[in-house]
Amino acid sequence: MKVTDTKWMQNMTDLVKPDTANKPSQDFAAILNKAMESKDDKRLYQACQDMESILMSKVLQAMRQTIPKSGWLGDSFAMDTFESMLFDEYAKLISQSNTLGLAEIMYRQLKQNIANISPVQTDPEK
């Protein structure tokens, strides 16, 4: 799949905003815009890694939901919060280890087309 249009990225950021509420300055679209405006390869790669991390976090949470809870450790809001944070950290580590390669694929395609892509519109009202 070629990444030539950034509208799908805006849709993805809309889907993951509830999980990234604790880091508003780290919004994927905002980081991508900054990287594209400044032509900063390092920032662009970081944005791609963040996107891969968000995707992996969703995958890990979906995988966890398939396993029945035993009640051995208790079922509480604190445990759910801990598991969510743990999966977010696992996702970051997976993304940083470059084992999947999704970030690398997105980075190469965005870098190749960065001159032709206009920045993602972060304000949906415009």
32 DSSP 8-state letter: H
Predicted confidence band of residue 6 (pLDDT cuts 50, 70, 90): low
pLDDT at 26 (0 to 100) = 55
- The 10 Å CB-count burial string (b at 16+, else e) for 3-42 is beebeebeeebeebeeebeeeeeebbbbbbbebbeeeeee
| Burial class for 83, CB neighbours closer than 10 Å (0-12, 13-18, 19+) | middle
Question: What residue ranges do the domains of the chain occupy?
Answer: 7-17+24-113
Angstrom CA distances, 37 to 14, 15, 41, 62, stand at 21, 24, 11, 35
pLDDT at 68 (0 to 100) = 86
Asked if 64 contacts 87 with a C-beta cutoff of 8 angstroms, the reply is: yes
Whole-angstrom Cα distance, residue 92 to residue 64? Answer: 17
Q: Tens digit of pLDDT for each residue in 11-21?
A: 544 544 444 44
Whole-angstrom Cα distance, residue 68 to residue 23? Answer: 31
pLDDT at 112 (0 to 100) = 82
Q: Tens digit of pLDDT for each residue in 66-111?
A: 988 877 777 788 888 999 999 999 999 999 998 889 999 999 988 8
pLDDT at 102 (0 to 100) = 92
